[in-house]
Structure 1
Amino acid sequence: MTGARGREGALLRVEVAGCVATLTLDNPQKRNALSAALLERLVGALGEIEAKGARVAILRASPGAKVWSAGHDIDELRAGVDMLDEDDPLPRALRALRASPLVVIAQVQGSVWGAGLELALASDLIVADETASVAMTPANLGLPYHAQGLAQFLARLPVNRVKELFFTAQPIDAATALGWGLVNRLVPAGEIDAHVGALARLVAAKAPLALALVKESLRVLVESRPLAPQDAARLAQMRRRALEGADFAEGLAAFREKRSPRFRGG
């Protein structure tokens, strides 16, 4: 199997070997930014590899890539437009990863920013090497983050760690990410391919229906604390104000103009 090709390149390369599939983010010109086309290809690929008998999927960047994913494709963001509605490409891809019966292992090498980190965290296991670093950067753009996404971080981290990630928007290195519990394993770069391959084969040899039940049960348990209606309405109003405010427009303009943003709280 090969990835869909277009003017952006392969976007996603797909290989299946026995019960293990490898999904390779392959858009180096845009540092594997999560465009709608890439995310839609990822969702489709999950169904394709399951139909071909895969039980485990490795999600990785191309060998040697310095950026695992730069997060949202900034060219697709627009001030006043919510890219995190449940029917948009990123939320659909995150749901597909979490709901898939496949065990998904994110092999993280290089830096991971913003929505790229959310994509990695939607995987079941994360194995990183010493080149990895992660950062949650919405505050750099004035992009209002959503409560459902924060809930996924709270399932992995204490609230003070989540605040540090989001308030500072600064990268943390691989060793720190391991200490915080963001990644499962940290291995040398020269050994990560063999390590992840062995882990994938180990998991693929287990009973798939039993693993699928554990994965789905954990997903339901993590997501079983709905917001009270009045809280959901209040948070939605705050997000809408930020999306339509001047700061978000300024953050996008500053990024595109390669300058520091001047946020004024509006």
Structure 2
Amino acid sequence: MNDIILSVKNIFFKNENYLVLDDISIDIEKDTFNCIIGKSGAGKSTLLKIMAGLLIPTSGSVIAYNKDLTKLFDRDITKIRKLYGFAFQDSALISNLSIKENLSLPLKNKFKYITLKDIDDKIFYYMDRLNMSDSLTLRPAQLSYGEQKLLSVVRSIIADPEILFLDEPLTSIDATLMKKILNIITEYTNKENTTIIAVTHSKDLLLNISSRVMLLEDKKIKLDCKGLDWDSVDKKNLPEILQDILG
């Protein structure tokens, strides 16, 4: 078994008086690609944010690097988050900064003594590959929704995080941008010491990249599959949502 890099234990989360997550425990192994699926409103994004230390659960613990994030001060959680990358479902690029400034932030936050040249080299490496170098001086609002999602993924990966969190990275975008995002995620996955946790409904991610699929349903993890050979699985025995994704 690989080393456990992140654990959530007995997580409960209430939104006002509504129970969103009910006693969820998950161990994430190092160097794995973990997908969380579920219907809209099931609490997938909430769970992902709790795992990343962006949201504090009502009760339970989130253990990363031998520390319980639920018991840390903000400054200590911030230190751990520097080892993470997070691509939000709505991209969450900072509206009053240029694309270049947005992409610079995780590099400056993680690497205290990084040079401007090293920052530029990192940014241009990705932007040249994406044929988007001309967009560096633009603001997020000047790009399409799909382009913003693409650059949100780039921003989450650019500082080489140890754990990458992706919230629906492939939804509501065209086939061309989807291919670009898949290529970037695949390249990151092939590096050493990389772990991904993704909320997704993407058949491409589930079939071609993921090593584990978890189904969040009725506030609980109802299915947890590792290392399945999808071609040999009898899809009739799978939950309906997974049948729909796999086709």
Instruction: Choose between structure 1 and 2 for higher RCO, CA contacts under 8 A separated by at least 6 residues.
Output: 2
Q: TM-score, normalised by structure 1?
A: 0.28
Q: TM-score, normalised by structure 2?
A: 0.29
